[in-house]
Chains A and B, each alone.
Chain A
């Protein structure tokens, strides 16, 4: 307040955390990991009727290296689990994960030897979206929950994340 009056027009004072979190939460770039029917609802969330771009997340990146939000939309089998984890590892920090639908959250109706009973067994999950599949509104609700979480985060929180060691290549 005092400083702004000293500098004149065109200046504001704020906290760097508030500014960066505000920028991050309104421009989450999702990695759409559509691996079964939930992906259809995820696509619907991007269409003009539901319009995910209202929340700044319309830039679906099909490369994990350019995204900071992984939407796991579908059934994850044990064979697929390695792939999901690899994609998660390739995303730069800070990153968030939505487990979309019953299958990704808990294995859903597939109580079976081939399906992982919830992706939280091998990646950290921030928000679980309920439904089978969840309606687009529900995915948007999950996205808003992520935004709340991002808003509360601090820049320093991500400083200590260790780098992932490069894989050892067999010679």
Chain B
């Protein structure tokens, strides 16, 4: 099944797949972020593949490597009992990526969380607000350069 996924995806998006990784029977594609909407739509709608369930969507801060941020999409095919990971790398200077809420409605809050924690901007997201932190918070807590205990005084406490 994994071979079929790879074959079909490479047929259609060969120019946009930078790497295919196999590790402990897990299949991962690293793709160009410009095609993420098309790739996810294709994987969802292809009658043989049917990756119709977005398990998770999250961000990764790769610290000092090139293309610092990564958005990870975990897909699952309920029909074929097959899972798949798609990764998009994002440069620090251009933190934009297309929102996939139009393909998978469940991505809504996942993308809000990723925006809240990493500051990645999801284009065309219906309601891109912070999910956990206060709305006027100015930092992104899961970035590697953010101190563990936070920035002192960045969230005001009530007066004693």
Chain A partners chain B? yes
A interface residues, Cβ below 8 angstroms from B: 78-79, 81-82, 85-86, 111-114, 116-117, 121-124
Give chain B residues whose Cβ lies under 8 Å from the Cβ of A114.
132-133, 141, 150
Q: Is A113 touching B160 in the complex (CB atoms < 8 A)?
A: no
Q: A113-B141, A113-B149 are in contact. Are A79 and B158 (CB under 8 A)?
A: no
Q: How large is the interface on B (under 10, 10 to 19, 20 to 34, 35 or more residues)?
A: 10 to 19
Give the Cβ gap from A84 to chain B, nearest Cβ, in Å. Answer: 8
How many residue pairs between the two chains, A and B, have CB atoms under 8 Å in the bound complex?
35
B interface residues, Cβ below 8 angstroms from A: 132-134, 141, 146-151, 155, 157-160
Most buried by A among B134, B141, B149, B151: B149
Give the Cβ gap from B87 to chain A, nearest Cβ, in Å. Answer: 26
Q: Is A78 touching B157 in the complex (CB atoms < 8 A)?
A: yes
- How many Å lie between the Cα of A78 and that of B134 in the bound state? 9
- How many Å lie between the Cα of A86 and that of B141 in the bound state? 27
Dominant SS among interface residues on chain A: loop
Q: Is B148 touching A81 in the complex (CB atoms < 8 A)?
A: no
- How many Å lie between the Cα of A123 and that of B158 in the bound state? 8
Q: Is B148 touching A111 in the complex (CB atoms < 8 A)?
A: yes
Q: Is B149 touching A111 in the complex (CB atoms < 8 A)?
A: yes
Give the Cβ gap from A35 to chain B, nearest Cβ, in Å. Answer: 16
Residue of A with least CB distance to B133: A114
Q: Is B132 touching A113 in the complex (CB atoms < 8 A)?
A: no
- B148, B151, B155, B157: which contacts A112 (Cβ < 8 A)? B148
Q: Show 13 A/B contacts (Cβ-Cβ < 8 Å), sorted by A.
A: A82-B158, A86-B158, A111-B148, A111-B149, A112-B150, A113-B146, A113-B148, A113-B150, A114-B133, A116-B157, A121-B160, A122-B157, A123-B160
